[in-house]
Chain A
Amino acid sequence: MAQLEIEHLKKVYPPNVVALKDISFEVEKGEFLVVIGLSGSGKSTLLRCINRLIEPTEGSIKFEGEEVTTASSKELKLIREDIAMVFQRFNLIERSLVLTNVLTGQLAELSLWRSLLGRFPRELKERAHAKLETVGIPEQAFKRADELSGGQQQRVGIARALMQDPKLLLADEPVSSLDPATSGTIMDYLAEINDQGKTVITSLHFLDLVRKYGTRAIGLKDGKIVYDGHPKDIDDEKFKEVFGEEAEKVHIT
């Protein structure tokens, strides 16, 4: 049994925008799967369907054998605990401390009143500091999140995801708002996480990043899978298929 099994997934935004049509694929534990495709091809929609930030219209998503699409809100919470997400625009709680942001990754384990009062147990705080150390910004813990640079904010986003100790990490264009050098560092962190046996599914725009980090690539076009294979095997032909004739000369590197 694969870790994640997606069958005949379909998403229609009201009134009638079909973002995903009949998507089926499986992801094994420990894969580094990259989703590529033009803007509007449905990458974000696909990733967000997996943890049901977006409600799929049809089809089934099984995570470790459990059906996601029909899970009750309680079951969904449990599933989400094991799936972390990193966002393109970081989505930090900007006016809160960096440490608090990281700690939100652990909310699910906390009793309600403790979390409402903001009384995090000591070992959680220590773990949060440790995660910040992992992503190389231990000294920023008590700054407000909006005081940080873009790259630093994305590291906080990753620390927050790590705090969850997830089995699967979803990263929707984690480096699109960052400069190339910072992108590299962030991708290195994702690779490190992947090396620890966690599955990573990410969408990327730069082909060389895809080739460098991915163990598998899925090409989306107009909500359909047009490529599924090893990133190294994407030649000019395949590239044209995914990105269309016009993109040929631009050659996204």
Chain B
Amino acid sequence: MKRPKKFTLPNLVDDLKPFLLDWLIWGYIAYAVVFLLNSYWYTQYIDWYGSLTLKPWGWVLTVLGTFTCALMSEKFGISVGLKTIKKVERPPQKTWALTNWGITAIALVVLTFWVGWITTDIDLGAIAGRAPKTIHLWSGLSHPDFTHFINIDPELEDTILGSLIDTIFMAYLATVIGGILAAPLGFLGARNIMGGTWFRRIIFYITRAFFNVVRSVEALLWAIIFAIWIGWGPAAGTFALLIHSMAALAKLFSEQVESIKKGPIEAVQSTGASFWQTVRYGAVPQVVPQYTAFLLYRLDINVRMATVIALVGGGGIGRFFFYYKSQLDWNQVGAVTIIIAVVVWILDYISGKAREKIV
């Protein structure tokens, strides 16, 4: 049942895709080459930040040049785009690294690595050269000062233990509330449930976009917003973790819902069970164990995040860390670091074991 290929817009886009990918690759190669040429020979086209400031004619030349290269690569049958997107068979006798695909991949990685080395100011000499600067840090870590673990620090008006408990409860609240809110969102973001009518589909896309945007902003940035909103303290941190967890869990939940199998549901239906009974026995068991595992994993992530969220006013044990660090009190910094490492490690271990059991 092969229908003749009609000329439609989606078809055109599909045909263009490999070419665009080729062009993108050539464009990137040009970017990297120009960047490298500039940083080694002329510095006139690189500004202070290390970004390219080509003249207009340079841009035109680059765009035209890469366009031609992309066209040529299809002509000479070395188009990576075609191989990637249309999955043209590659000759089996060649080793992977010698195919066009392999060569391009290697070239891209090498170029990226080279440019990255320069643009991120990697300076291995500094690691050795400035090592003496860190001596007080290591000595602090190796002589931790635990005085304020159970004794109130007058400056921060709390004990480390107290803020540690805060940290764990912050993560707990964020995970539980976020997890509960994520479930309905996850349903709205599941393709199989929201695929029917165009109205449902619009809700689906809005929900997806919402939790993808929220997820893309790190909890630490959310904490800045909530600190502005309701003032510094553990509540702001909890709200930040909560909203980020909610979005992240909603995505995972929607994927779980999408992978529900029809068989068990039919089996339950065929016994004469009612709708809610079918949901309870056919659908829920397919989702809940995995979701519980996600929740445990999220709790783990949230505890980690909660240890540093104080940096932007989110409360928790990080307050002590950043305060002592600002006082250059390395012995106490060492103590807090050790406590964080131990607690996070224990929770990671427990959550890992529990997850193993559930899934």
A87-B272 CB under 8 A given contacts A95-B286, A116-B280: no
Q: Is B8 in contact with chain A by the CB < 8 A criterion?
A: no
Of chain A, the residue at the smallest CB distance from B269 is: A53
B272–A107 CB distance below 8 A: yes
A95-B281 CB under 8 A given contacts A80-B269, A107-B272: no
A80-B263 CB under 8 A given contacts A93-B282, A115-B280: no
Q: Is A18 in contact with chain B by the CB < 8 A criterion?
A: no
How long is the Cα–Cα vector from A94 to B289 in the complex, in angstroms? 11
Residue among A85, A92, A95 with the most chain B CB within 10 A? A95
A:153-199 near B, CB below 8 Å: 157, 160, 164
B:274-301 near A, CB below 8 Å: 274, 276-277, 280-282, 285-286, 288-289
B358 CB to closest chain A CB (Å) equals 9
Q: Is B264 in contact with chain A by the CB < 8 A criterion?
A: yes
A164–B271 CB distance below 8 A: yes
Residue among B271, B274, B277, B286 with the most chain A CB within 10 A? B271
Q: Is B273 in contact with chain A by the CB < 8 A criterion?
A: yes
Q: Is A46 in contact with chain B by the CB < 8 A criterion?
A: no
A83, A94, A110: the one contacting B264 at CB < 8 Å is A94
> What band does the interface of chain B fall in when counting residues whose beta carbon is under 8 Å from A?
20 to 34
Chain A residues with CB under 8 Å of B288's CB are 95
How long is the Cα–Cα vector from A83 to B273 in the complex, in angstroms? 12
B272–A95 CB distance below 8 A: no
A91–B263 CB distance below 8 A: yes
Q: Is B266 in contact with chain A by the CB < 8 A criterion?
A: yes
Chain A residues with CB under 8 Å of B272's CB are 76-82, 107-108, 164
Chain A residues with CB under 8 Å of B263's CB are 87, 89-91
Q: Is B268 in contact with chain A by the CB < 8 A criterion?
A: yes
A92-B264 CB under 8 A given contacts A80-B271, A84-B270, A107-B271: yes
Chain A residues with CB under 8 Å of B273's CB are 77, 104, 107-108, 115
A87–B267 CB distance below 8 A: yes
B2 CB to closest chain A CB (Å) equals 17
Q: Is A214 in contact with chain B by the CB < 8 A criterion?
A: no
Chain B binding surface, main DSSP class: helix
How long is the Cα–Cα vector from A53 to B267 in the complex, in angstroms? 9
Q: Is A112 in contact with chain B by the CB < 8 A criterion?
A: yes
Mark each residue of chain B from 251 to 264: 1 if its CB lies under 8 Å from any CB of chain A, else 0: 00000000000011
A:201-217 near B, CB below 8 Å: none
A85–B267 CB distance below 8 A: yes
A84–B264 CB distance below 8 A: no
A91–B264 CB distance below 8 A: yes
Mark each residue of chain B from 232 to 268: 1 if its CB lies under 8 Å from any CB of chain A, else 0: 0000000000000000000000000000000110111
A32 CB to closest chain B CB (Å) equals 20
How long is the Cα–Cα vector from A24 to B81 in the complex, in angstroms? 56
Chain A residues with CB under 8 Å of B280's CB are 115-116
B267–A92 CB distance below 8 A: yes
Q: Is A96 in contact with chain B by the CB < 8 A criterion?
A: yes
Chain A residues with CB under 8 Å of B271's CB are 80-81, 84, 104-108, 160, 164
Of chain A, the residue at the smallest CB distance from B359 is: A95
Q: Is A60 in contact with chain B by the CB < 8 A criterion?
A: no
A80–B276 CB distance below 8 A: no
How long is the Cα–Cα vector from A76 to B280 in the complex, in angstroms? 19
Q: Is A69 in contact with chain B by the CB < 8 A criterion?
A: no
Q: Is A51 in contact with chain B by the CB < 8 A criterion?
A: yes
B289–A95 CB distance below 8 A: yes
Chain A residues with CB under 8 Å of B277's CB are 107-108, 110, 112, 115-116
Extra contacts, 13 of them, besides A80-B270, A92-B264, A107-B274 (Cβ < 8 A), are A84-B271, A92-B267, A94-B285, A94-B286, A95-B288, A104-B271, A104-B281, A107-B272, A108-B271, A108-B273, A108-B277, A112-B274, A112-B276
3 shortest interchain CB distances as A-B pairs: A80-B272, A91-B263, A81-B272
Chain A residues near B (Cβ < 8 Å)? 51, 53, 76-85, 87, 89-96, 100, 104-108, 110, 112, 115-116, 157, 160, 164
- CB pairs A–B below 8 angstroms (26 shown): A53-B270, A77-B272, A77-B274, A78-B272, A80-B270, A80-B272, A82-B272, A87-B267, A93-B267, A93-B282, A94-B264, A94-B285, A95-B285, A95-B286, A96-B285, A104-B267, A104-B268, A104-B271, A104-B281, A108-B277, A115-B273, A115-B280, A115-B281, A116-B276, A160-B267, A160-B271
